[in-house]
Structure 1
Amino acid sequence: MSDTKAQFRPENHPNDHFIMTTVVGSYPKPKWLNRAKALYEDDDVDFDDGDWQEAKDDAARVITDEHQRAGLDVVVDGEMRRNEMVEYFAHRIDGYEFNGPVKVWGHNYFDKPSVVDDVAYDERWLVEEYEFTASVADRPVKVPITGPYTLASWSFNEAYDDDASLAYDLADLVNQEIEKLVDAGARYIQIDEPALATTPDDHAIVGEAIERIVADVPDDVRIGLHVCYGDYSRIYPEILEFPVDEFDLELANGDYEQLDVFEDPAFTADLALGVTDAHVAEVESVEQIERNIEKGLEVVPPDQLVVSPDCGVKLLPRDVAYGKLENMVTAARNVEAKLDDGDVDVRGRTASPADD
């Protein structure tokens, strides 16, 4: 696997070591964006397509700037244009249709789509989103995209013999979208596969799907895989065979109880470690996040470590989400400085060829 991380190091980075800071994807929407959506959906209000587009652009600009003010090395627009991680894409893929919301937990509903015909690529999904964010950002932009296994598993399958066949066809569509994103300039793409954690025995299906996704993707494009919650021991070390540069894992929420899963065999990819809990509406102290970052150094050396929140933070109060990011960046810079001074015990080892 080629080193794709160095290209994201800022020119004026203050430390010799570099622990890249980023986010998983989603971020709390400004309250006025939700009000603008209600106006757009109200037939009795003069709020047209142009007004709605302007509102989304403004929100994307505001949140991208918020990520930059927090100091992140790689930013996202907080997915301001997206509603839900499956529904958003299903609306843009031929072969899907919607028949109404499904209750998933508590009082929460999910507009679960149905696959009623062979899926096909109909329109670009994220290129315009990426181009706008890149135009207003002064640093690299990451593009999160829902993976084919989750798009298949979290839909009603009424057209394919099995979910694997559906996932493979969807993977070919994701590959088409990534080609367009790369042509537009994207160099950091994250595949989100939360469904893998709920059905870990299907890791081989996910691996095959990712092989299709990254076919012909240039070597300088960084590909990450985000898998949140679940029993990681059921997919490790098999996931090391996946052709990705980094694995983004949720571990802070479980107080790093599963950290030792990744110690043997050696972690051969980059580890994007969750170091703030996306499920707790309290801002962790800088000192606590430093300790969490140092947990990652028990698994990988500094050049393989990336830090982010555990998962998307869209359900948190916005000030809490920002505070977590700001403290996370400060903590990462502090750990880098301690590494420069030799004050951190690094137990993570670089994998040797014998480990592969």
Structure 2
Amino acid sequence: MMEIRGEEVLLPTSAVSAFPRPHWLQGRVFGSREEPYYRSHNLRITYEDAVALCAHEQERAGLDVLTDGAQYYEWEAPGFQLEPIFHFIPEMLGGITPYGPPGDGVKYAPFYKGIVHDRVTWKRSIFEGVVYAMKAATDKPFKVAMLGPAQQSVILDDQHYGSGVELAFDIARALNQELRFLVSQGLEAVQLIDVLPPYFQDGWQIEAQNIMFDGVDAIKFWHVCYGSVDGQRDVFDDKAAEMMPLFGQSPVDVIHLEFTSKGLGELSAFAKFPTNKVLGMGVVDAKNVMVDTVDDIAARIRKGLEFIPADRLLIAPDCGLGYFSRTVAYAKLRNMGRAVKQVRASL
């Protein structure tokens, strides 16, 4: 059974990462590597207030591990929410210069690549402000989510390493320093966000995870993302069975995937899910503006229990809920919490 702060929790619950921001929080909150950490004092206060509201909503829903809701991301710019994914971490690391060539393909062309011109190093904390804001907002355990080293390595313009794998490993070393620092500041959980495994099942991705998580004393989540920008899916084929060997080799504690929007058909592959891992099951549709009913969510959870026992199943939405209105996002979350209570009572 999953332990949270030393206590065993049956059917633990968490959100994935993102929630919509209040309308009064606009623009980029944190500066890049050469700027002040906050763009302004007013932005800092506004951001910390938004984080407090986000944490409160998750507490109302009964979540066991909270998220900061990625309130520093500019969710209010439709179609351009990928911008911080491309820039937020690279612009804080040494060895990377922003404003490189456009991304590859039509979808990514609006987002410039960072140029890797030297060895990638950790310079200063990337998520320190997130941990500070969450500690002030809640007494419950919380996680910080970040794009992982494998994914970061393929969206950069490498002009130094000549090897995407070596680039990924140095990004992992930099993020390891970041995570060790954040844990020293009170972080209890971390979530790796990754879209590569459905496309490539190469073992170096796990080597990068081992480097990133070495010596990091926190609950480790791995969200395998099927794509969600403006409700658009990137992965249509069933890839769970092909990813299963990676899941078994990964050093993480929880592996989370989308199930509801894509359909529950892939659940059967998880009869072979590694027994030393917790499966994070997406039971709330992150691509449909209709609010999932409590009964529908409960039925999805019970379907998951046919393949994974309750002591190894974590309940979450399919993906982040940052693209919805606040009304819809938090209604979905509260219904998920009610459904979990319903199913727990029947076990």
Q: In the alignment, is residue 222 of structure 1 matched against residue 219 of structure 2?
A: yes
Contact 2:21 2:71 in 1 (8 A): yes
Q: Which residue of 2 aligns with 1:151?
A: 152
What is the Cα deviation at residue 275 of structure 1?
Answer: 0.5
Distance 1:33 1:111, change over 3 A: farther
1:20 aligns with one of 8, 12, 16: 12
Q: Which residue of 2 aligns with 1:321?
A: 329
What is the CA–CA distance in structure 2 between the aligned matches of 1:299 and 1:192, rounded to whole Å?
Answer: 24
What is the Cα deviation at residue 269 of structure 1?
Answer: 0.5
- Aligned partner letter, 2:138: A
**Deviation per CA, 1:14-52, whole angstroms, max 9, x where unpaired?**
xxx721111110111112212x669x9xxxxxxx71112
Q: Which residue of 1 aligns with 2:79?
A: none
TM-score (norm 1): 0.83
Q: In the alignment, is residue 7 of structure 1 matched against residue 8 of structure 2?
A: no
What is the Cα deviation at residue 9 of structure 1?
Answer: 5.5
**Deviation per CA, 1:61-85, whole angstroms, max 9, x where unpaired?**
2212222222222211211123423
What is the CA–CA distance in structure 1 between the aligned matches of 2:337 and 2:128, rounded to whole Å?
Answer: 28
Q: In the alignment, is residue 248 of structure 1 matched against residue 256 of structure 2?
A: yes
What is the CA–CA distance in structure 2 between the aligned matches of 1:320 and 1:186, rounded to whole Å?
Answer: 28
Contact 1:266 1:299 in 2 (8 A): no
What is the Cα deviation at residue 234 of structure 1?
Answer: 2.0
Q: In the alignment, is residue 302 of structure 1 matched against residue 310 of structure 2?
A: yes
Contact 2:221 2:253 in 1 (8 A): yes
Q: Which residue of 2 aligns with 1:206?
A: 205
Q: Which residue of 2 aligns with 1:342?
A: none
What is the CA–CA distance in structure 1 between the aligned matches of 2:277 and 2:248, rounded to whole Å?
Answer: 7
**Deviation per CA, 1:215-252, whole angstroms, max 9, x where unpaired?**
1223xx21111102242222113321111111011111
**Deviation per CA, 1:313-338, whole angstroms, max 9, x where unpaired?**
11112211111100000000100001
TM-score (norm 2): 0.85
Q: Percent identity?
A: 29
What is the CA–CA distance in structure 2 between the aligned matches of 1:313 and 1:149, rounded to whole Å?
Answer: 24
1:62 aligns with one of 36, 50, 53: 53
What is the CA–CA distance in structure 1 between the aligned matches of 2:90 and 2:71, rounded to whole Å?
Answer: 17
What is the CA–CA distance in structure 1 between the aligned matches of 2:184 and 2:11, rounded to whole Å?
Answer: 28
Q: In the alignment, is residue 239 of structure 1 matched against residue 247 of structure 2?
A: yes
- Aligned partner letter, 1:158: Q
Distance 1:293 1:287, change over 3 A: same
Distance 1:106 1:185, change over 3 A: closer
Contact 2:103 2:155 in 1 (8 A): no
Q: Secondary structure at the match of 2:72?
A: coil
Q: Which residue of 2 aligns with 1:286?
A: 294
Q: In the alignment, is residue 142 of structure 1 matched against residue 143 of structure 2?
A: yes
Contact 1:86 1:146 in 2 (8 A): no
What is the CA–CA distance in structure 1 between the aligned matches of 2:246 and 2:123, rounded to whole Å?
Answer: 34
Q: In the alignment, is residue 31 of structure 1 matched against residue 23 of structure 2?
A: yes
**Rg comparison, structure with higher value:** 1
What is the Cα deviation at residue 256 of structure 1?
Answer: 1.2
Q: Secondary structure at the match of 2:197?
A: helix
- Aligned partner letter, 1:160: Y
Q: In the alignment, is residue 73 of structure 1 matched against residue 64 of structure 2?
A: yes
Runs of 4 or more off by more than 4 Å in structure 1?
Answer: 100-108
- Aligned partner letter, 1:31: H
Q: Which residue of 2 aligns with 1:128?
A: 129
What is the CA–CA distance in structure 1 between the aligned matches of 2:213 and 2:344, rounded to whole Å?
Answer: 32
Contact 2:122 2:174 in 1 (8 A): yes
Contact 2:248 2:273 in 1 (8 A): no
Contact 2:2 2:312 in 1 (8 A): no
Distance 1:169 1:268, change over 3 A: same
Q: Secondary structure at the match of 1:21?
A: coil
Q: Would you say how many aligned residue pairs link Structure 1 and Structure 2?
A: 319
Q: Which residue of 2 aligns with 1:181?
A: 182
Distance 1:109 1:299, change over 3 A: farther
Q: Which residue of 2 aligns with 1:82?
A: 73
Structure 1: unaligned runs, 5 residues or longer: 11-16, 41-47, 340-356
Q: Which residue of 1 aligns with 2:164?
A: 163
Superposition CA RMSD, Å:
2.5
Q: Secondary structure at the match of 1:25?
A: coil
What is the Cα deviation at residue 114 of structure 1?
Answer: 2.4
Contact 1:67 1:75 in 2 (8 A): yes
Q: Return 137-146 or 162-171, whichever deviates more.
A: 137-146
Q: In the alignment, is residue 269 of structure 1 matched against residue 269 of structure 2?
A: no
Structure 2: unaligned runs, 5 residues or longer: 32-38, 75-83, 227-234
**Deviation per CA, 1:187-237, whole angstroms, max 9, x where unpaired?**
21111112333x3232x111101111221223xx21111102242222113
